[in-house]
Homo-oligomer: A and B are copies of this chain.
Amino acid sequence: MSGTCVLVLDAEPLPPLDRLRGRARVVHADEQSLAGQLPAADVLLVWDFLSTAVREAWPGDGPRPRWVHTPSAGVDKLLPELAEDGRDTVLTNARGVFDQPIAEYVSGLVLAMAKDFHGSWEWQRQRQWRHRETIRVGGTRAVVVGSGPIGRAIGRTLLALGVTVELIGRTRRESDPEFGQVYAAGELDGLLGSADWVVCVAPLTEESRGLFDARTFARMKPGAHFINVGRGQHVVEDDLVEALVAHRIRGAALDVFDREPLPADSRLWDVPGLFVSPHMSGDTVGWRDDLAEQFLDNFDRWEAGEPLRNVVDKHLGYVPSKPAGPAR
């Protein structure tokens, strides 16, 4: 197998791939050189998972890698091109690595918003003692849009805080073991009016693009908070700004944006009630090692001719709950 060529679309810091020594030839590409190097590659590791270079180089001329792995949960930077090339390229993702970190992040946001930590920080800056009453999180209601492993981990953590959680997936599922049921995407409108917390963690698909727009924000409660850890394109950002400025909802936190990094002159930086963080909700110390390890684990399977883990349904745009068939 040492003839196997693993092409890495680089990002700093580079992945620790020592375990491949003697088993594969590791070749490095940047966004410019990628297209020219693809024909010689058996495997593509999209280490720079925020790059759109793969979509731009696809399908292109000549052979393509038979397996593409992205160390991210979302695969929207690779689709639809990888789905439409007529080849049986296997696409895998980082399903699992981000579940607990993002669940912690979102629960932290819910609690920080409920307890108005931001307000306390502002008063602290001004050396002013201003006692306020805060929100009791237990007994509130959350709608989590996205019923994959990250959405479920978020839901589980919120349940533990005493929050009533309604999970929304693509299709309705009755008798879910943890959440009672999973609602269908079309049921969102009916659930928004009673939600204190609306969390977006859906995969970005044609159906979910722009889901959170003026119409959606208008259906939320005036006291509601919105959190996006999905993709920036889920939100019509101008509509969110408008909803916050007009106090149609009380607050929001965005970890993802239509343009990343968020430009310094974006108006999103200083909207009252809006918390901006730089796409880091899942990135806990050691995350890159975990991501490399997950790829290497799948490489072992690839080498052994076993089915790969976390195979994405390229037409759905995510790993279905019931794993797809053999990968190779």
Contacts and interface: CB of A to CB of B under 8 A. Distances in A.
Interface residues of A, number: 54
Contacts of A265: 127
A280 B134 contact: yes
Nearest to A279: B131
Contacts of A270: 124-125, 127
A138 B104 contact: yes
Nearest to A133: B285
A120 interface: yes
Given A121-B118, A135-B285, A283-B134, A107 B276 contact: no
A214 B188 CA distance: 53
A133 B264 contact: no
A125 B127 CA distance: 18
Contacts of A264: 127-128
Contacts of A138: 100, 104
Interface in A96-144: 100-101, 104-105, 107-109, 111-112, 114-115, 117-118, 120-121, 123-125, 127-138
A86 B157 CA distance: 50
A270 B124 CA distance: 8
A182 B157 CA distance: 25
A141 to B, nearest CB: 15
Given A108-B112, A111-B112, A157-B160, A136 B278 contact: no
Contacts of A2: none
Given A134-B284, A160-B157, A285-B136, A115 B105 contact: yes
A107 B161 contact: yes
B157 A120 contact: no
B117 A108 contact: yes
A161 B108 CA distance: 11
Contact of A129 (B114, B134, B261): B261
Contacts of A127: 264-266, 269-270
Given A275-B120, A280-B131, A108 B115 contact: yes
26 contacts: A101-B134, A104-B115, A104-B136, A104-B137, A104-B138, A105-B111, A107-B107, A108-B108, A108-B115, A111-B111, A112-B112, A117-B277, A120-B275, A121-B121, A124-B275, A127-B266, A129-B261, A129-B262, A129-B278, A134-B280, A134-B283, A135-B284, A135-B285, A136-B284, A157-B161, A160-B160
Interface of A: 100-101, 104-105, 107-109, 111-112, 114-115, 117-118, 120-121, 123-125, 127-138, 157, 160-162, 260-262, 264-266, 269-270, 275-281, 283-287
